[in-house]
Amino acid sequence: MILDKEFYSLETTQIAKKLLGCYLIHESGDGVSVGRIVETEAYLGTNDPASHGFKGVTNRTKVMFGEPGKAYIYFTYGMYFCFNVTTAPDGVGEAVLIRALEPIVGIELMRKRRGKLFVNADTPNIMLTNGPAKLVIAMGITKDMYGTDLTQPPLYITSSDHFDKPIAFDTAQTTRVGISKAVELPLRFFIKGNEFVSKH
């Protein structure tokens, strides 16, 4: 089942938590790729200076302030993109960063997209999607998808029972990674013990 408007209207930290175990699916011209979400971070509107939405609407963050359930893709460090799901109603700028996936379908396609490093067959699949910029490349997500509706193909997220019975797991909650402000807020969620989580 594709996650719908109702799901994305939950509170942002709840969405971050509930996205664990769900599937991110991209049906591209190259083929279908699917990853199970194993790590997320919530970015809030107010009281969270680490969030891009904290300072209000800009050209870059405007999609965060629109309808929930859209793709917020941003460019960073001069060469990478990260993928977020927008949350919160119109006028409130919040989102959930997808930090890591477990590759499920289209692994060869993902290896091809990741390029040079994976030409070597010895490079393990564990490095394919265990970080926010890595999964964007592996899934074939591009900046053109900024603002895309995530409740329908080609890019969408399904519930954890979409393919089979949901896997059982414990959720861990820690502080977020790679930020310099509001470092103490415990808004990072991941599947405890999952080897595709970015940092242990």
Q: Which residues bind DNA (CB under 7 A)?
A: 41, 43, 50-53, 55, 58-61, 72, 74-80, 82, 84, 95, 97, 114, 116-117, 127, 131-134, 176-180, 198
Q: 3-class DSSP state for residue 95? A: strand
Q: Considering the complex, what minimum distance in angstroms separates the CB of residue 181 from DNA?
A: 7
Of 55, 38, 37, nearest to 47 (Cα)? 55
Q: Considering the complex, what minimum distance in angstroms separates the CB of residue 18 from DNA?
A: 17
Q: Do residues 23 and 150 lie in contact, with contact meaning Cβ atoms separated by under 8 Å?
A: no
Q: Considering the complex, what minimum distance in angstroms separates the CB of residue 24 from DNA?
A: 15
The residue (of 27 and 177) whose beta carbon lies closer to DNA is 177
The residue (of 153 and 193) whose beta carbon lies closer to DNA is 193
The residue (of 20 and 29) whose beta carbon lies closer to DNA is 20
- 69 Ramachandran zone, left/alpha/beta (phi>0; psi -120 to 50): left
Q: Considering the complex, what minimum distance in angstroms separates the CB of residue 31 from DNA?
A: 21
The residue (of 22 and 71) whose beta carbon lies closer to DNA is 71
Burial of 116 (0-12, 13-18, 19+ CB in 10 A): exposed
| H/E run at residue 132 | helix 132-139
Q: Inter-axis angle of helices 107-114 and 132-139, to 10 degrees? A: 110
